[in-house]
Chains A and B, each alone.
Chain A
Amino acid sequence: MALEALQRDGYLTTQLDAVINWARKNSLWPMPMGISCCAIEMMATASPRFDISRFGSEVMRFTPRQCDVMIVAGTVTYKMAKVVRKIYDQMPDPKWVISMGACASSGGMFRSYSVVQGIDQFIPVDVFVAGCPPRPEALLASLMELQKKIEKDRSIGELLHGEQLYIPETAGLAGDPKIA
């Protein structure tokens, strides 16, 4: 029906949320936060064999300003946590995080004083991927999970319904010496 209307009259009616979420979920540009061996699998995911561009995520940008999803691929030490958080803060909203592999998700085999035992202690994570390292298929599966999650989002609906627009992570960040 909608497509017929599009053909005949040149317009279609739909939900704003549906259009926005459709656009967002199919152009998830990753921030490749490759900090150890998981990064190799992440690179393999971008290779033609696994082809992450099937999901619109081939545009790995090495600047946080152009990214939607940060793939934390590797062991995060306490020293590195500040850097990861800083890059996450520089990404524009809306933004998501994939915690790739055992190390990023739980510290992995590095049960040690220097390694953060799970990056969800300092950034909100949307999808955790198991594996050490996960196969490229697993990373692609996590991307599809994230797409499902975004599909269900109320992207701009809250604003139109007069509710307050949720902007994560803005409160109290500016001027925080620990993050700056």
Chain B
Amino acid sequence: MTHEEILKRLNTAFPQSVVGHEEFRGDLSVVIRREDLPRVALFLKEDADFSFDLIVDVLGIDRYGSADRFEVVYIVYSLKNKQYLRFRVTLAEEHPAVATVTNVWPGANWYEREAYDMFGIRFEGHPDLRRMYMPEEFEYYPLRKDFPLMGIPDSLPLPRR
């Protein structure tokens, strides 16, 4: 499917949901309204023409300083069409939360956990939203732009010497 066909089909199915798109070096990136993410995600996977059945990655972005501070980017792949699609949602700074896509792509489980661990983005409805890399008791989100590179002193306890 060409990018035009993808956009047209998405716009027909969800006239309100696609709030923007851009192309960069042959890749299409679609911006989805946050509230519509579960419906659009299910459609992308279940629709016979699209059939984006593989979740490649879910990542977070911190656009520090902007009102919509956080973004979540989803990369999906259609084994049938041999085609990638990237779509994303923007989240407000004060309440960075978005519905999970694990009920659509179970493989997103750990990706969303990673984004939660690093950015503090909450994935509502996620079956197991625990920290991925950092210790459970850690209170900060290290990949946020306002987190210092060397960390917060004494936030990670060491065994006593």
Using Cβ atoms and an 8 Å threshold, which residues of chain A touch B150? 111-113
Main SS of the interface on chain A?
loop
* CB-contact partner of A122 in B142, B147, B148, B159, under 8 A: B159
Known: A113-B142, A114-B133, A114-B142. A81 touches B159 (CB 8 A): yes
Residue A121 at the chain B interface, CB threshold 8 Å: yes
Residue A43 at the chain B interface, CB threshold 8 Å: no
Interface residues on B, range: 10 to 19
The CA-CA distance from A178 to B158 in the complex, in Å, is: 8
B3 to chain A, nearest CB (A): 39
The CA-CA distance from A87 to B158 in the complex, in Å, is: 14
The CA-CA distance from A122 to B158 in the complex, in Å, is: 7
How many pairs of A and B residues are in contact by the CB < 8 Å rule? 48
Residue B106 at the chain A interface, CB threshold 8 Å: no
Residue B25 at the chain A interface, CB threshold 8 Å: no
Residue B13 at the chain A interface, CB threshold 8 Å: no
Residue B82 at the chain A interface, CB threshold 8 Å: no
- The proximity string for A residues 35-70 relative to B, scoring 1 for CB distances below 8 Å and 0 otherwise, is 000000000000000000000000000000000000
B82 to chain A, nearest CB (A): 36
Instruction: Please state if B135 and A79 are interface contacts (CB–CB under 8 Å).
Output: yes
Interface residues on A, range: 20 to 34
- The proximity string for A residues 83-103 relative to B, scoring 1 for CB distances below 8 Å and 0 otherwise, is 001100000000000000000
Using Cβ atoms and an 8 Å threshold, which residues of chain A touch B149? 111-113
Instruction: Please state if A124 and B133 are interface contacts (CB–CB under 8 Å).
Output: no
Using Cβ atoms and an 8 Å threshold, which residues of chain A touch B125? none
**B residues touching A (Cβ–Cβ < 8 Å)?**
133-135, 142, 147-152, 156-161
